[in-house]
């Protein structure tokens, strides 16, 4: 019983008569005499002021983490701080904004003068860098919620072969370069889009990313902190700064007895064994290799740049303007059937298609440059890594590799010297332990 019939048709006729453009006043608003129009309610932004609280908490947590790691040397303290950081920066504040993602905000601000970046974002980006420059990666130890979550699941870490760890570690730089290239061109914030753990903090999000995150955590049970070691672009930057940090955690302030317990317990493979350095007879060949790599470096960079330019096409698939332009072009040339929401929306704006195509071409040019820079960067990273690996290193004691050590403090717990220093065991017991482990 269609009492009012297909009024849609009537409405359509009315709409036609009134003109088809959107937002036209088809039905003049009535003038009420005794009815007050309600005011539309808009809730003020939550958490705008909260951001400054976050900055203060971040600074406090960084200070506390540095104190716990360097002065108190308390693994337990660091662990509890990590739990607190995970709870606050992760679950309460949903992991946004975080220093890792802030890389993209500062990049975009660098390249796009119209993009305004908030002070809290700058603070989030800069504070951990500064702390790392003085105290090592204490941010990673107990402040970063991603790090904390992975720290907690690292239950049965196996050791990753050195060569594999080095190779996978390069991915961080690749990811950093990609994130920066795509942010600089205003294409996408990939580091945020593919953040594997933020879904857990929000207790929601896209199913595919939740699955990826779940797999990562599962993997993290056996390979300590996989995201930190092989993907985190911010960790890559922190690594450089940590390398030159003023202070850094030491396994023991006392004499190292070479028991190798710390090496066993570090789940992140971040402890470097003592080495004699190169023997004199190996020197000439090592020097030749170094010269070769040094000469090879420019070739790698140039080759990377050339290859990288070719990335413009795949990279632009992430760009909405290029995607839309391609779609509309394909529709107009009969290459695809039908239309999409996006192409309909663009056509509805009555803007000329040429305008869109021009914008897309411009964007693709930009991406060709960004791709070239990205390729050169990857070449540079590989070249420098090769040189770095073939340098001669001399070391007497077991010590953390400051670039990769996240100052988690596990090694303190296992170092017999530390046990004595803290008065947990007497010297005789240590000697017993030493004979056993050195056997």
Partner 1 sequence: MAENQRKIDRRKFVGDGLRIVGAVGIAGATGFWAGRRAEDDDNLWQIDPHQCVACGNCATHCVLDKSAVVCKHAYAMCGYCNLCTGYFEPDANELTTGAENQLCPTGAIRRTFIEDPYYEYAIDEPLCIGCGKCVKGCTAFGNGSLYLQIDQDRCMHCNECAIAIACPSEAIKRVPAGKPYLPKDQNGGPA
230 is a contact residue toward ligand SF4 (CB under 6 A): no
Instruction: Name the region of 186 (left: φ>0; alpha: ψ -120 to 50; beta: rest).
Output: left
3-state helix, strand, coil in the chain (%, to 5): 65, 0, 35
* Least CB distance to ligand SF4 at residue 420 (A): 31
228 is a contact residue toward ligand SF4 (CB under 6 A): yes
* Least CB distance to partner 1 at residue 227 (A): 17
146 is a contact residue toward ligand SF4 (CB under 6 A): yes
Angstrom distances, CA of residue 77 to CA of 18, 73, 141, 245, 338: 71, 8, 11, 22, 61
Q: Which stretch binds ligand SF4 (CB under 6 A): 41-49, 176-184, 230-238, 414-422?
A: 230-238
113 is a contact residue toward partner 1 (CB under 8 A): yes
Each residue 180-209 as x (binds partner 1 by CB under 8 A) or -, in order, gives: --------xx--xx-----x--x-xxx---
Q: How far apart are CA 85 and CA 89, in angstroms?
A: 6
Nearer to partner 1, 160 or 405 (CB): 405
Number of residue whose CB is nearest ligand SF4: 147
Each residue 301-340 as x (binds partner 1 by CB under 8 A) or -, in order, gives: -------------------x-------------------x
Q: 251-273 burial string, b = 16+ CB within 10 Å, else e?
A: bbeeebbebebbbeebbbbbbbe
Q: Which of residues 83-102 bind ligand SF4 (CB under 6 A)?
A: 100
Hey, is 35 helix, strand or coil?
Answer: coil
Nearer to partner 1, 132 or 417 (CB): 132
| Contact yes or no for 383/243 (Cβ under 8 A) | no
Torsion 188-190-191-194 (CA) sign: positive
Pairing of strands 399-400, 271-272: antiparallel
241 is a contact residue toward ligand SF4 (CB under 6 A): no
* Least CB distance to partner 1 at residue 190 (A): 9
Q: How far apart are CA 133 and CA 380, in angstroms?
A: 23
Q: Which stretch binds ligand SF4 (CB under 6 A): 68-76, 212-220, 227-235, 362-370?
A: 227-235
Q: Which of residues 363-402 bind partner 1 (CB under 8 A)?
A: none
From the list ligand SF4, partner 1, none, partner contacted by residue 130 (C-beta under 5 to 8 A by kind) = partner 1
Contact residue for ligand SF4 among 61, 103, 232, 373 (CB under 6 A): 232
Enclosing H/E stretch for 322: helix 320-332
Contact residue for ligand SF4 among 147, 169, 226, 371 (CB under 6 A): 147
55 is a contact residue toward partner 1 (CB under 8 A): no
140 is a contact residue toward ligand SF4 (CB under 6 A): yes
Nearer to ligand SF4, 3 or 207 (CB): 207
* Short-list 307, 296, 289, 315, CA closest to 380: 296
Residue whose tokens read 């290193």: 393
Neighbours of 317 (CB within 10 A): 10
94 is a contact residue toward partner 1 (CB under 8 A): yes
Contact residue for partner 1 among 83, 84, 106, 286 (CB under 8 A): 106
Residue whose tokens read 């070739």: 299
From the list ligand SF4, partner 1, none, partner contacted by residue 51 (C-beta under 5 to 8 A by kind) = partner 1
Nearer to partner 1, 182 or 406 (CB): 182
392: Cβ contacts below 8 Å, ≥ 6 apart: 277, 278, 283, 286
Q: Which stretch binds partner 1 (CB under 8 A): 141-149, 241-249, 274-282, 295-303?
A: 241-249
* Least CB distance to partner 1 at residue 37 (A): 4
Nearer to ligand SF4, 146 or 181 (CB): 146
Give the gyration radius of the chain's Cα atoms. Answer: 29
Contact residue for partner 1 among 17, 46, 253, 333 (CB under 8 A): 46
Q: How far apart are CA 421 and CA 419, in angstroms?
A: 5
Q: Which of residues 338-357 bind partner 1 (CB under 8 A)?
A: 340-342, 344-346, 348-349
Q: How far apart are CA 214 and CA 209, in angstroms?
A: 8
From the list partner 1, ligand SF4, none, partner contacted by residue 155 (C-beta under 5 to 8 A by kind) = none
- Residues in contact with ligand SF4 by CB under 6 A are 100, 140, 144, 146-147, 227-228, 232, 234-235
């Amino acid at each position: 019983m269609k009492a009012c019939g297909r009024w849609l048709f009537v409405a359509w006729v009315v709409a036609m008569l009134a003109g088809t453009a959107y937002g036209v006043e088809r039905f003049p608003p009535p003038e009420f005499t005794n009815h007050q129009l309600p005011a539309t309610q808009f809730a003020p932004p939550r958490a705008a002021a909260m951001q400054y609280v976050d900055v203060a908490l971040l600074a406090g947590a960084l200070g506390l983490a540095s104190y716990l790691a360097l002065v108190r040397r308390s693994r337990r303290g660091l662990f509890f701080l990590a739990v607190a950081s995970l709870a606050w920066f992760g679950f309460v504040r949903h992991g946004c904004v975080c220093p890792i993602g802030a890389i993209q905000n500062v990049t975009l601000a660098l390249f796009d003068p119209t993009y305004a970046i908030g002070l809290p974002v700058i603070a989030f980006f800069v504070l951990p860098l500064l702390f790392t420059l003085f105290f090592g990666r204490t941010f990673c130890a107990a402040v970063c919620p991603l790090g904390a979550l992975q720290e907690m699941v690292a239950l049965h870490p196996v050791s990753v072969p050195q060569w594999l760890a080095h190779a996978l570690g390069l991915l961080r730089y690749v990811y950093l370069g990609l994130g920066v290239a795509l942010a600089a061109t205003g294409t996408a914030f990939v580091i945020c889009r593919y953040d594997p753990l933020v879904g857990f903090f929000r207790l929601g999000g896209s199913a595919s990313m939740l699955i990826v995150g779940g797999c990562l955590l599962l993997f993290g049970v056996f390979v300590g902190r996989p995201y930190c070691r092989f993907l985190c672009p911010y960790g890559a930057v922190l690594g450089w700064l940590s390398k030159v940090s003023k202070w850094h955690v030491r396994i023991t302030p006392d004499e190292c007895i070479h028991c190798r317990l710390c090496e066993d317990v570090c789940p992140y493979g971040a402890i470097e064994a003592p080495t004699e350095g190169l023997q004199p007879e190996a020197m000439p060949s090592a020097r030749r290799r170094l010269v070769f790599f040094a000469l090879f470096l420019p070739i790698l960079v140039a080759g990377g740049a050339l290859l990288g330019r070719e990335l413009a096409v795949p990279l632009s698939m992430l760009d909405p303007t290029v995607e839309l332009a391609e779609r509309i072009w394909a529709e107009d040339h009969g290459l695809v059937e039908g239309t999409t929401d996006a192409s309909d929306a663009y056509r509805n704006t009555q803007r000329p298609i040429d305008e869109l195509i021009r914008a897309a071409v411009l964007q693709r040019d930009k991406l060709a440059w960004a791709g070239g820079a990205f390729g050169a960067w990857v070449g540079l990273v590989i070249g420098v890594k090769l040189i770095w690996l073939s340098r001669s290193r001399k070391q007497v004691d077991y010590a953390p590799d400051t670039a990769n050590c996240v100052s988690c403090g596990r090694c303190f717990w296992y170092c017999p010297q530390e046990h004595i220093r803290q008065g947990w065991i007497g010297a005789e017991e240590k000697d017993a332990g030493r004979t056993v482990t050195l056997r």
